[in-house]
Structure 1
Amino acid sequence: MTSADVAREAGVSRATVSYVLNDSPRHRIPETTRRRVWEAAARLGYAPSAAARSLRRGRSDIVLGLLPDWPIEHVLGRLVQQLTDAFAEHALTFLVHSSAHPVRPLREVWKALTPAAVLALDEFPEAEVEAMRAAGVEVVMAVHGAEGGPHRQPLVVEEPIGAAQARYLVTGHDRIGYAYPDLPRLGVLARPRLDGVRKVYAGLGLAEPDVRTVASGPDGALDAVRGWLTATPAVTGVCAFNDEIALAVLVALRTLGRRAPRDLAVIGVDDIPAAALAQPPLTTLVRDTGVIARNLVRRVVDGLDGGRIPADPVEDLLRVVVRASA
């Protein structure tokens, strides 16, 4: 099926079909005509050619999203959906590729797709950025390690998360622990969060956090919790890297016959659905990923329109969800 078939079916010109299906803002088409064209296209099973649309615009409508080898869980999945929705509002398609166990090199992926922009959650080699730009990719952005290498500030900053956790616990807890994830690839998130905790306590002249590695799972936190409870002086509160790690700490406490917050106050990050169902319900820090997604998309769109992309971090709204664990 072609646009000419749709034009005959709807009783309009091919130009009108083009204006309607491409939602051209420069041509005023009566609503009844628009509806007739869309109904004709639906009856015939016609869809505009993405390749033709790209040729007309001079670029594709694809934004390639590169996911690092991180666990794809509730929060990351939510962010991907919000990015997808925000890009769709600008007639852009967000196509996600995960680097976990890649079956083909990254360079082959973006060359095959010829995206208008690339948005990566983690940083990638500068040589890869240069190759993308040389191939015509207009915008290249990395969220947790901005384009240009490790000395550029990330677009989404993690340190305030740890700082907010520490500020919440600091009243009544002079000695705290930090539950660090056991997956090295999460270090790009965990290290700055831990730095945020350290800076708050150092600024108040309090002891360095007792950092222990915790694996998610029923028995992942037993050794860490035993260590915190028997430390001298004892640790009385714990900032966890995320809610999964915090839930492991709560399970370990119950296994040892202890309870939060009486024996150890616990605060997580992300407010996953299980946080409210924990025993006791988990106090946690939540960020507005919808605001982050819209801000990132705005920068990509501005870059595609020839504007300057700011180097400063995007807005990140944080709040504590207070429950019974801390």
Structure 2
Amino acid sequence: MVQIPNTSASAPPAQRSVPTSADVARLAGVSRATVSYVLNNTSAVRISEPTRRRVHEAAEELGYVPHAAARSLRAGHSRMVLMPAPAIPVGPLHGQFLNELQWALSRLDYTVVQHGALGLHGDDAARAWAELRPVAVLVPGQGLGPQGVAVLKRSGARAVVTLGPTGVEGAHALLMDHATVGREAARHLHARGRRRIGVVVPEESGLEAYSTPRLDGVRQALRGTDAVVTELPLGYTEEAAARLAARWRGLGLDAVFAYNDEYAMLLMRALQDEGVRIPEDTAVIGADDLMLGRLLRPRLSTVHIELPSGRELAELVDRAVRDPGAAPERHEVLGATVVHRDSS
């Protein structure tokens, strides 16, 4: 007797076919061209709202999503906007800006991709970004040079936008000079009668792009006055703050610009533990205007930083993608104003 093996238990389930735009068109009762127009947000063709709704409902029911590579071939470029992943943890202010930017770009039908390239910098990083063929690249900080911009453009990037203190040849630039933050903090402390001013310089790697210009801004603002500036390296730990606070009286400082609100809160708590009165003995000012600083006692004085809106940057990217031959735009976008509270 020949036994027929039962293979039903071990047989893999039948693989479902990947839904296509033709499937969406059949379910919605429209042409494939209409599906393409609707799902690619084509503005050149007018599609009624009921038709758009039917197409979206059909695509959702079938689980259909457009093929990014195929769409890129049809358009002649991708819709990917690449941003290098930050090498350091971003603060609340920067994080809010990035979230707003990603939302604004998605509204313009771009996909934002963060690229991690550990160990790669400058033009080497640009070559790694170029491999993904983005339509635009947003580069925070410094390090990208004209050669890197050229590599990106040869790979198909229609827009390269840098965000930092200086621009790069061939790229659009949002100029963010953090020296203005230090200048505003120093002018405030000097106007309050403080003459022996310390400036916190974080020891954490990667913050130099912000801390160095802020220190320079303090020195610029106080040059030619009777004030003395003391640089204060500080790691972001309770132990480091306690060590600095323990020798505070020997430093003879009557004020400190603590780089930002987080370092200011860290140092202020350590100074209070040492019996240093704030602001009577030492005035303290931070930067970023975080909510937590308003809840401290004494309430923390700060420099409120005004960044460009994510919508404005998204519109710049879109303009550059639509007109890649236009001259690079450069905009001064970082504003700074002092918010005077109890700590100074």
Band of TM-score, shorter chain: 0.7 to 0.9
Provide the C-alpha distance between the structure 1 equivalents of 2:258 and 2:109, rounded to a whole number of angstroms: 39
Residue 116 of structure 1 aligns with which residue?
A: 135
TM value normalised by structure 1:
0.87
Does 2:19 correspond to 1:24? no
Q: Structure 2: where are the runs of 5+ without partners? A: 1-18
1:224 paired to 2:241: no
Equivalent residues of 2:194, 2:227 under 8 A apart: no
Q: State the alpha-carbon separation in 1 of the partners of residues 75 and 173 from structure 2.
A: 33
Distance, in Å, in 1 between the alignment partners of 2:22 and 2:195 is: 75
5, 20, 36: which one pairs with 2:54?
Answer: 36
Structure 1 runs of 4+ with >4 Å offset: 99-102
User: What are the residue-to-residue correspondences of 1:58-77 with 2, within 5 Å?
Assistant: 58-77=76-95
- 1:188 maps to what in 2? 209
- Provide Cα deviations, 1:43-101, integer angstroms capped at 9, x if missing partner: 11111121122122211111111144222332332222122122223222221124456
CA RMSD of aligned residues (A): 2.5
Is 2:313 the partner of 1:296? yes
Partner of 1:128: 148
Q: Which residue of 1 aligns with 2:329?
A: 310
3-state secondary structure, aligned to 1:275: helix
Mapped to 1, the partners of 2:127 and 2:291 lie a distance apart of: 37
Q: Which digits, 9 at most, give the CA deviation of each residue in 1:230-280, with x for residues without a partner?
A: 33xx32111111122111211211220223212211111112343233343
Corresponding residue of 1:278: 296
The aligned counterpart of 2:186 is 166
AA at the equivalent of 1:285: V
Amino acid at match of 1:293: G
Q: Which moved more, 1:219-228 or 1:260-269?
A: 219-228
**In the alignment, residue 204 of structure 2 is paired with which amino acid?**
L
Distance 1:316 1:107, change over 3 A: closer
- Contact 2:162-2:173 at 8 Å conserved across structures: no
Radius of gyration: which is bigger?
A: 2
Corresponding residue for residue 264 of structure 1: 282
- Aligned partners of 1:137 and 1:26: how far apart in 2? 23
Within the alignment, does 1:214 sit opposite 2:234 as a pair? yes
| CA–CA distance in structure 1, aligned partners of residues 314 and 163 of structure 2 | 11
Contact 1:302 1:309 in 2 (8 A): no
Output the TM-score relative to the length of structure 2. Answer: 0.83
Change (3 A) 1:277 1:257: same
In the superposition, relative to structure 1, how do residues 174 and 107 fare at CA in structure 2: closer, same or farther (>3 Å)? closer
Question: Matched residue of 1:65: which SS?
Answer: strand
SS of alignment partner, residue 216 of structure 2: helix
1:166 positional shift:
1.3
Deviates further, 42-51 or 295-304: 295-304
Amino acid at match of 1:276: R
Contact 1:238 1:264 survives alignment (8 Å): yes
Q: What corresponds to 2:63 in structure 1?
A: 45
Quote the offset at 1:308 in angstroms. 2.1
Using a 3 Å threshold, how does the CA distance of structure 1 residues 84 and 9 change in structure 2: closer, same or farther?
same
Aligned to 2:222: 201
Deviation at 1:292, TM superposition (A): 4.7
Cα distance between partner residues in 2 of 1:170 and 1:153: 33
Taking a change above 3 Å as real, the CA distance of residues 2 and 11 of structure 1, as seen in their structure-2 partners, is same
- Summarize the Cα distance change of 1:68–1:99 in structure 2 as closer, same or farther, 3 Å threshold: farther
Contact 2:127-2:151 at 8 Å conserved across structures: no
Q: How much has 1:35 moved relative to structure 2?
A: 1.1
Aligned length: 317
Name the CA shift for 1:30/1:18 in 2 (closer, same or farther; >3 Å). same
Preserved CA contact (<8 Å) 1:17 1:37: yes
Does residue 137 (structure 1) correspond to residue 157 (structure 2)? The answer is yes
Secondary structure (helix, strand or coil) at the match of 2:112 reads: strand
User: How far off is 1:140 after superposition?
Assistant: 2.2
* AA partner of residue 63 (structure 2): G
**Paired amino acid for 2:129:** W
- Assess if the C-alpha contact under 8 Å between 2:142 and 2:209 holds in 1: no
Q: Which amino acid aligns with 1:121?
A: P
Equivalence for 2:266: 248
